[in-house]
Copies of this chain bind each other. A is one copy, B any other.
Amino acid sequence: MATSVLYMSMSLDGFIAGPADTPANPGGDGFMRLHDWFIGPDGEFGNVSGPAREVVDEMSDFSAIVAGRNTVEQVDHWGGERNGVQIIVPSHRPPAPSVAKYPKVTYVTDGIVNAMALAKEAAGDGRVLVHGAYTAQTALEAGVLDELQIHQIPVLFGSGRRLFDVLPKRIELEVVKVVDTPEATHLRYRVLR
């Protein structure tokens, strides 16, 4: 059975995007501050060493993706291709016509539970990479998110968009692993049910 894991960089005060998050300003003002940790000394994304290396390697090991519409539209569905895996987009609205050219991208319009089921089937025994604040929230509420990998950044963002909005219930977590680096505290949790 596949495991669904949310990966998000979040400020200590809970923000995953800055203010003025628009298509012309993806992630909002100062967004990249939350992703500094992921940039190597050569400026290459993901080219990090030390304890964060293990976190990046885990993040790169996925067999399907569930990502929110905002996320995928901002990057044009990664050109239809990311590690050769199925990309599942839960959305109430059907995709833009241009998405038809991407055979690996599937929009699921009947809810996060079905979207996650499709992704887990595609992932086999692997990981489903989950991305996006709204998607995470709905997956948590529906009980279909298995793990959270939070890259907690030592900054108070002050304003922007929060990862965790108000939830209708309390959800217990289990600390799986903590990786302590100066750039980020990488916190891995299992969602308990």
Contact = CB atoms under 8 A, between A and B. Distances in A.
B180 A175 contact: yes
Contact of A150 (B12, B167, B175, B189): B12
Nearest to A170: B158
Contacts of A163: 13
Interface string A146-164: 0010101011111100111
Given A175-B185, A178-B185, A185-B187, A159 B167 contact: yes
A174 B168 CA distance: 33
Nearest to A159: B166
Interface residues of A, number: 35
Interface in A175-192: 175, 178, 180-182, 185, 187, 189
A140 interface: yes
Nearest to A190: B154
A173 interface: yes
Contacts of A150: 12
Nearest to A184: B175
A30 interface: yes
A100 interface: no
Interface in A39-61: none
Contacts of A164: 12-14, 156
A156 B174 contact: no
A188 to B, nearest CB: 10
Given A180-B180, A185-B175, A170 B154 contact: no
Contacts of A157: 170
A8 to B, nearest CB: 11
A166 B15 CA distance: 10
A117 interface: no
Interface of A: 12-14, 30, 33, 140, 148, 150, 152, 154-159, 162-164, 166-175, 178, 180-182, 185, 187, 189
